[in-house]
Amino acid sequence: MQERLLELQQEALQKATEATELKELNDIRVAYLGKKGPITEVLRGMGKLSAEERPKIGALANDVRAAIASKIEEKQHAFETAAVNAQLASEKIDVTLPGRPVNKGNQHPLTRIVEDIEDLFIGMGYTVAEGPEVESDYYNFEALNLPKSHPARDMQDSFYITDEILMRTHTSPVQARTMEMHKGIGPVKIICPGKVYRRDNDDATHSHQFMQIEGLVIDENISMSDLKGTLEVFAKKVFGQDREIRLRPSFFPFTEPSVEIDISCKICSGKGCSVCKHTGWIEVLGGGMVHPNVLEMAGFDSKTYSGFAFGIGVERIAMLKYGVDDIRHFYTNDLRFLKQFHTHESE
């Protein structure tokens, strides 16, 4: 019996050592340690043994079982460790690999200028108004005191789509539309940013498509000094606190009187340089007091109400602010140009 037990132990250990997967170990466990296994079989014959021998064989049988069980367990443990190691190896991440660069875009310089100017005017109680780029002759010209065949229409060469419809040549039609919506009741306080179109040959300072921001205030007792004060705030905010402005008489059909507004040259501080053509001043916008005809046409009583309007050329502001020497840079989307504006919010 003793021999048979040792033989079984030998056999089981051998098989366990040779096992290559968990399933085999389970089979060995069932085969040798199970109720129907050979060890149980051997122990069934213990009745025939003498009282002396019985405990010895009993103890040996337990040892054999324990030896087989521990071998199986050891082997099982080895399998599990190997499985975990294999998984770890397959999921290994090489943290030394350099990351892929993420190409972030940034705001277009014109968008930034428009947003900055919007913020400034919103802070002064204005609201932002928008209108269509494909506009009727009426809002683009007639409602702005430019009847058909008025010679001043020549100031703005236009892209006509039909006799009555054109690409708007300025953002002023938005003021005509907004005034009309107010049905003669003030105050009106808006700025209108947007694209405008003119039949110009593109060159360093002209583009057939560009951007304007129109400002309009209508209320009782609005005077030229309100316009001047407002534009002074604008000039200092955009170009720096030490800027000054000056107004020069000019002509626009929709304002009377009309003015051109110059800002003291930032580059030479007014001494004269090539940017300001040696005058010390740079022309940045046009404006004036809203013409009574424009007020009346939009339904406002020009005896009660007065107002001022101004038009800002966005590209011109951007060119001066950032020292850009060719307007076409804003529209040709050369990344080397655009990436130079990679700062603040977009950083």
Site residues (vs ligand PHE, CB under 6 A): 170, 172, 212, 214, 252, 255, 286-288, 309-311
The SS3 of residue 86 is helix
Q: Which is nearer to ligand PHE, 239 or 310 (CB)?
A: 310
230: alpha, beta or left? (left if phi > 0; alpha if psi -120 to 50) = alpha
Q: Which is nearer to ligand PHE, 28 or 294 (CB)?
A: 294
Q: How far apart are CB 339 and ligand PHE at their closest, in Å?
A: 31
CA distance 210 to 103: 28
Q: Which is nearer to ligand PHE, 57 or 262 (CB)?
A: 262
The SS3 of residue 105 is coil
Q: Which helix (H) or strand (E) holds 4?
A: helix 2-18
Burial of 345 (C-beta count, 10 Å sphere; 0-12/13-18/19+): exposed
Q: How far apart are CB 171 and ligand PHE at their closest, in Å?
A: 7
Q: Which is nearer to ligand PHE, 252 or 330 (CB)?
A: 252
Q: Which residues contact 188 (CB under 8 A, 6 or more apart)?
A: 178, 179, 182, 216, 217, 218, 219, 307
Neighbours of 302 (CB within 10 A): 15
Q: Which is nearer to ligand PHE, 9 or 172 (CB)?
A: 172
Q: Which is nearer to ligand PHE, 109 or 173 (CB)?
A: 173
Q: How far apart are CB 94 and ligand PHE at their closest, in Å?
A: 60
Q: How far apart are CB 252 and ligand PHE at their closest, in Å?
A: 4
Q: How far apart are CB 277 and ligand PHE at their closest, in Å?
A: 20
Nearest partner of 1 among 49, 37, 69, judged by Cα:
49
CA distance 316 to 324: 9
Q: Which residue is nearest to ligand PHE (CB)?
A: 311
CA distance 334 to 213: 25
Q: How far apart are CB 209 and ligand PHE at their closest, in Å?
A: 13
256 known ligand binder: yes
Nearest partner of 1 among 69, 56, 67, judged by Cα:
56
Summarize the annotated binding site for Mg(2+) as residue ranges: 256
